[in-house]
Structure 1
Amino acid sequence: MIEIGSTYTLEVIKETEFGVYLDAENLGEILLPNKHTPPGLEPGDPIEVFLYLDSEERPIATTQTPKAEVGEFAYLQVKDCTPIGAFLDWGLDKDVLVPFAEQHRPMVVGKSYIVYLYLDNQDRITATSKIDKVVEEDDDHDFRPQQAVDLIIANSTDLGFKAIVDQSHWGLLYKDEVDQRLSFGQSIRGYIKQIREDGKIDLSLKSGQQIRESYSQVIQDYLRDHDGFAPVHDKSPPEQIAELFDMSKGQFKKAIGGLFKQRVITIESDGIRLV
């Protein structure tokens, strides 16, 4: 079923002096105005369009690309504040409304906010900055460790940064594992680090392979700075490994296992040695 607020590839039915009409199936014929109609478009041709309601609340099509569609989050700037709410620039000629009741705090012209787009009870595309009521924090998901995901940085806590994961769930980036500057509203690629027992999601900005490579590099750098030897191995106490390399014993064992297989180090009874 075709719905307002999404992108579809529709077929041109007929041409008129003010644009072309598209077959939107259950929504009927929808106008694509001349200003958004590519030259040479004829009946029978397919075209990708986004559907929304015009100022008279009639379904209309555009070839403009919105910064988000219904059911998605985006970081949008306020263009105007009016008696009915704030209007945000989302990439189309018609700005999207955030009613006062849907503002987490009063919005200010020129500032940007993370919002979620939804259809109101009259099928008008509307936004809300009260994202906590939309983002899921339960364990009803199928994310898996090391899965690549899209993140939107949405908040900071004492532990780190809260991020929206793949437009659906909350996840956490621990601040002591982030080695780059992150800003509110930033979209960035990340990875599922682990799923906790309560279903909550821990995140990383590095893939498992990148993390292993960084630990391997730390070990090699230490060895080069200490005559090629470190007095720890896979049987050493976790505290000794952490003090020397600032990593867990499990991380250390995986790293030296990889270096051993690559014949970069040897593992001896009293430590590891650079080949």
Structure 2
Amino acid sequence: MINIGEYNLLEVKREKDFGFYLGDAGRETVLLPKSVLEGRKIEVGDNVEVFVYRDSKDRPIATFKKPLVTVGEVGYLKVVFQSEFGAFVDFGLDRDIFVPLKEQRFKLQTGTKYLFYIYVDKTGRLAATTDVENYILNAKEEEVEYKVGDEVVAQVYGKTENGSVHVAIEGKYKGLILANEYYTEIYPGTEMKLRVKRLYEDGIIGLTPRKTRLNERDQIKEDILKYLKKNGGFMPFNDKSSPEDIKATFNTSKNYFKMALGGLMKDGKIVQEKEGTKLI
């Protein structure tokens, strides 16, 4: 059986002016056009590994070209066109993959990349879905090791009602950004540089876009100064303020906030009073 959307090891059965017909042990054959040989020399009787998909006329076609993703895999692919029936994503060959509307868990934007799972639909055509959760791997089960402090690149594919963001590290492994770890809105498809903050027992990797302690303090110092300048040089917060108020306003812990205040006082930029903090 020749599998659509996968690599197949097939025998060269016969040659025509326009290409070679490849087949398996049965009677099924697929055309390998001479235009995609890329300098290779093959003869009848050879066994060749090719990728098989459907061309613009829905005919099975073989190629030596490497697609960006195959059936059963998750790929980070760009949306190149949209119609009233769905979207199309580029997977590296001359025909794009269709994403039906019912397989879009969020609004897709043309020109933007998202994570897609590739499958063969009921008609035998390649199709894609943004519902990738069940196909993102558990790093622990795959025996892939990450350490706290490691820097990784991950792609966003979902968000829970409580604000936690689901990402795929390297497009493969499950990661989670808790709601209190990010400042601005994060959208599906966003590729992010993150830092490993925690290793959960179930193998999910806890991540944060926040910087290291020293860099984090510098960022909070900038945020405090911006807040002061925006509010007439005064804020009703100091190192005695409640952790809840600090978190709600500056999205950081009281410890980091106090460190930042101390740094600004040392720099001679602020002064703390009983009612709050003033800009000098």
Under a length normalisation based on structure 1, what TM-score does the superposition of the two structures give?
0.56
User: C-alpha distance in 2, partners of 1:55/1:37?
Assistant: 19
In the other structure, the counterpart of 1:216 is none
Offset of 1:136 from its aligned partner? 5.8
Question: For residues 37-56 of structure 1, what are the structure 2 equivalents within 5 Å?
Answer: 37-39=37-39, 40-56=41-57
In the other structure, the counterpart of 1:170 is 174
Moved more, 85-94 or 25-34: 25-34
Q: Does 1:202 align with 2:201?
A: no
CA distance 1:160–1:68, shift in 2 (3 Å):
same
User: C-alpha distance in 1, partners of 2:176/2:130?
Assistant: 20
Offset of 1:14 from its aligned partner? 1.3
CA distance 1:26–1:82, shift in 2 (3 Å):
farther
Instruction: Give the conservation status (yes or no) of the 8 Å contact 2:68–2:75.
Output: yes
Offset of 1:93 from its aligned partner? 0.5
User: C-alpha distance in 1, partners of 2:121/2:170?
Assistant: 23
Instruction: Give the conservation status (yes or no) of the 8 Å contact 1:65–1:91.
Output: yes
Offset of 1:84 from its aligned partner? 2.3
Offset of 1:155 from its aligned partner? 4.8
Moved more, 89-98 or 20-29: 20-29
Instruction: Give the conservation status (yes or no) of the 8 Å contact 1:12–1:42.
Output: yes
Question: 2:89 aligns to what SS in structure 1?
Answer: strand
Question: For residues 70-219 of structure 1, what are the structure 2 equivalents within 5 Å?
Answer: 70-132=71-133, 134-135=134-135, 142-144=141-143, 146=145, 152-155=154-157, 162-164=166-168, 170-172=174-176, 184=189, 186=191, 194=199, 196=201, 199-202=202-205
**Count of matched residue positions in the alignment of Structure 1 and Structure 2:** 199
Alpha-carbon RMSD: 4.2
Instruction: Give the conservation status (yes or no) of the 8 Å contact 1:20–1:33.
Output: yes
User: C-alpha distance in 2, partners of 1:135/1:90?
Assistant: 18
Question: 1:101 aligns to what SS in structure 2?
Answer: helix
Offset of 1:70 from its aligned partner? 0.8
Instruction: Give 2:20's aligned amino acid.
Output: V
User: C-alpha distance in 1, partners of 2:153/2:71?
Assistant: 18
Instruction: Give the conservation status (yes or no) of the 8 Å contact 1:135–1:170.
Output: no
In the other structure, the counterpart of 1:57 is 58
User: C-alpha distance in 1, partners of 2:144/2:91?
Assistant: 33
Instruction: Give 1:107's aligned amino acid.
Output: L
Instruction: Give 1:56's aligned amino acid.
Output: K
Question: For residues 217-256 of structure 1, what are the structure 2 equivalents within 5 Å?
Answer: none
Percent of aligned pairs sharing the same letter: 31
Instruction: Give 1:142's aligned amino acid.
Output: E
Under a length normalisation based on structure 2, what TM-score does the superposition of the two structures give?
0.56
CA distance 1:186–1:47, shift in 2 (3 Å):
farther
Runs of 5+ unmatched residues, structure 1: 178-182, 206-242, 244-275
Question: 1:92 aligns to what SS in structure 2?
Answer: coil
User: C-alpha distance in 2, partners of 1:167/1:24?
Assistant: 33
Offset of 1:125 from its aligned partner? 0.7
Question: 1:55 aligns to what SS in structure 2?
Answer: coil
CA distance 1:186–1:13, shift in 2 (3 Å):
farther
User: C-alpha distance in 1, partners of 2:190/2:9?
Assistant: 30
